[in-house]
Chain A
Amino acid sequence: MYNIFKIAARNLLRYKRRTLLTSILITLGVVAVLLFVSVSGSFKSLMVGQITDSMLGHLQVHRKGYIASIDSLPLNRNLQGKQVAKVKEVLDASPEVEAYSMRIKLGAMFSNYNETTNIRINAVNPKQEQQASPMLTGRILQGEKEGLLDKGEILVPELIAKGMKVKVGDTIVLVATNKDGLVNGQPFVVRGILESISGPGGRDGYIHLSDAKTLLRIDKPEVSEIAIRLKEMDTLPDVLANLKEALGGILNKQGKPVFEVHSWEKLSPFSKIAAMIDLMTLFIKIMLVAIVLVSIMNVMIMSVYERIHEIGTIAAIGTSPSKILALFLTEGLLLGILGTLIGLVISLLAIAGMNVSSISFDFGRQKDLLLAPVISTTDVLLVVGIVIAVAVIGSLQPAWKASRMNPITALRHV
């Protein structure tokens, strides 16, 4: 075995330039894939993290049909007392759930006493909301962050604050219509200005849950949306399935389901972008496979062709076809390993370099998102495994041809 490696390695060294060029090609492919995987992966997880951690949560529970008409924030599709209690019971019993926030969502008129505009409001319990959306506090651009918000206060989204020229400490009025058609107004002090983010709810305002109850004249507990944060994102599919099972079976008097459960992917258009990124990653991996396959095959076909006479010699003196096959496969394997190792080192250095130089980028309205590319061991092993396997596969046909050569024909070849 050692000797097969020795002979294969020496044959690679015999054609230094060719070996170098082929390994550079493989190296480039490996670097391209690893960098793309790490950069796009960190972009993806950054965006996903932002969406889930500052607004959506990982999962949401609503009254059946709420999401279909979410644009109008229908108050008549809120979950009622018993239903809320049921969800609470299920969530409290799930060990994977880190926190959840119960929100009333409403549309209101926002008035600064001079002008009026529309605003979408989330009424929340500040403690719950901070636990379920840990990045929300970080979005407060001006104003006191500690404690998020108190009764009588409002967090105003950046765009409305600018458009309506309101500052922290100003008083504004929210006017809302409840589900019975009664109109009511209530003054709020601007507690803070909220940075906009991409995704649904990224430009909503926040008030205290108890203010919503007085504004909308709700006496019984009632909730539009329950946003759930998990301890580990990996458990999402399981928890989703469990919740669907636990809540999906509950029917109303008409025999229709009461609840609907959605994962963040169903609620955010960014999941489409994430899926595109995954697709592009796949394409780039396919390109890598093609590059490695073609370059290795090409070089091994040349290798076999140039050494026909030599193959004839070793076959004549009794080297078995399987040894000849192994000899050429090993050559392809070593070439693959060489290219991969160099590519791996360059990629890891580049990723480390990007982290050190803190590269930032803009996405949509957001500025200065910090790019922190990471690559998982799984991804590294996968790419390394694919390249090495493809290198062997690419050598298979030429090696097979070499092993099947008739020694006399091969010896006569010049």
Chain B
Amino acid sequence: MTIVAARQLTKEYVAGDITVPAIRGVDFSIEAGSFVSFVGPSGSGKSTLLNMIGCLDPPTSGSLEVVGKDVAGLRSSESARFRGEHIGFIFQDFNLIPVLTVFENIEYPLIMVQNWPVRKRRQQVERLLEAVGMQDQANKYPGQISGGQKQRVAVARALVTNAKLVLADEPTANLDRDTANRIISLMKTMRDEFDTTFIFSTHDPKVVKNAEIVFALEDGLLQTESNGQGGSHV
């Protein structure tokens, strides 16, 4: 099953008189359950592409289908609902809510985005805490844990709604090499356990090698699609 399909997708930013073509007509499709990475130098359009897939930014032209829905023309209120239902996000600087504990951060989407009953919510958060190995840090605040631990919590938060697609823009850019590798392998484990599609971007070749499918971007164009060294998922 295809979870993301793009045809002649373009994105132009208009700043005053200048038009910046950030994505210049790309075609690709991603199968559900894949572990995909977009790589490329700074300014190549990785964030732009991920933002379009994540329904945070509408394309300028072309078609884009995400989780079976044409999202190219979604209005902002519809896209907020769509994101809340189907997509999980992991950010470069973790973006946990500082006034909430680890437990509450993971619980947040189940309360404020979806509307889960208390008992089910507790169970689900416990399950995710355990999956990312943070069960004994549940009552700490983000300010009291390390960067790698924060990103584990962020992974749990992205998965807690049982999202079928998780997007991560440079999830390891603020982590040291070892921690970065551990986060990437955690994501992969999660893909296996929750049957979720992971799409992440990076410019770090060492991180890329963990991906199963690698799309190389340059100057807003897709250069190659290759199987990474991470092995193919069937």
Contacts and interface: CB of A to CB of B under 8 A. Distances in A.
A317 B77 contact: no
A11 B82 CA distance: 28
B100 A319 contact: no
Contacts of B99: 7, 10-11, 13-14
Contacts of A13: 99
Interface in B82-112: 82-85, 87-89, 91, 95, 97-100, 108-109, 111-112
Interface residues of A, number: 24
A137 interface: no
Interface stretch (B51-59, B128-136, B190-198): B51-59
Contacts of B80: 315, 318-321
B83 A317 contact: yes
B157 interface: yes
Among A13, A323, A411, the most chain B Cβ lie within 10 Å of the Cβ of: A411
A207 B184 CA distance: 106
Nearest to B92: A411
A318 B95 contact: no
Interface string A5-39: 00100110110000000000000000000000000
A281 interface: no
A323 B115 CA distance: 12
B81 interface: yes
A317 B98 contact: no
B113 interface: yes
Interface stretch (A78-86, A103-111, A179-187, A306-314): A306-314
B97 A408 contact: no
B29 to A, nearest CB: 24
A398 interface: no
B111 A3 contact: yes
B77 A316 contact: no
Highest count of chain B CB atoms <10 Å: which of A3, A14, A318: A318
Contact of A309 (B87, B95, B109, B112): B95
Interface string B16-55: 0000000000000000000000000000000000010010
Given A318-B84, A320-B80, A323-B112, A408 B57 contact: yes
Interface of A: 3-4, 7, 10-11, 13-14, 309-310, 312-321, 323, 406-408, 411
